[in-house]
Amino acid sequence: MNRAQLIESLKQDTLVIIEEVKALAKLDEEILTMKADAKRWSILECIEHLNIADAHYLMQFDKKLRIATPSQNMACDSTYLGKLFINKIKPRADGSIPSPMKTMRKFDPDVTVHKDTISKFLEDQQELLKYLDMCQRLDLQKIKIPSALGAIITFRLGDALQFLIGHNQRHIIQAKNVLKELGQESVLVS
């Protein structure tokens, strides 16, 4: 896959995420804040977690992409570490989640979340689409993005984009699974 194909694929994935979250936004706040059990997140908490995690990457994209120079390099090969992280986070084609993992405390949605959590997420996805457009002319291998875990793990830009969008997909599936667990999936209008 070359740069143009990867960016187009990531844009399509993001557009699907946006539509799925718009469908969730139509639900009553009561349903959005329900939990299958006390130790699990509600739909809004899943989305707030994404807001917290996405904020790091959007800030990094803003900082790095605005000063990046256009490149003819169309390659977008992942590093070994990039592939590893992407494969552990991105949902499988059947929608199942590989490698369930515990979230680091700093990414927990500790605050009381409200429906404006969804508005924030949708705004951030529009910003992400703008960054994806910018990436169509940038070197996805040369630009480095520190991970949300800290600068000890740095991704190539292409890997960071795939990781972020895979992470978004993962938690939107989790949010939709909350409805199933609550027996409320029939209220979801796509």
| Domains, the chain | 3-187 (1.20.120.450)
In percent, the amount of the chain with pLDDT more than 70 equals 89
DSSP for 56-99, written as a single string: HHHHHHHHHHTTPPP------PPPHHHHHHHHHHSPPTTSPPSS
Q: What confidence tens digit (pLDDT) does each residue in 106-121 have?
A: 565 665 666 689 999 9
As given in the structure block, the two tokens for residue 40 are 């699990």
Average pLDDT, the chain: 90
Residue 42 predicted with pLDDT over 90: yes
Q: What is the per-residue pLDDT for 190?
A: 46
Better-scored residue on pLDDT, 122 or 95? 122
Better-scored residue on pLDDT, 12 or 107? 12
Q: What is the per-residue pLDDT for 183?
A: 82
The predicted model scores a pTM of 0.90
Residue 188 predicted with pLDDT over 70: no
Residue 151 predicted with pLDDT over 90: no
In terms of Cα–Cα distance, which of 165, 157, 10 is closest to 77? 157
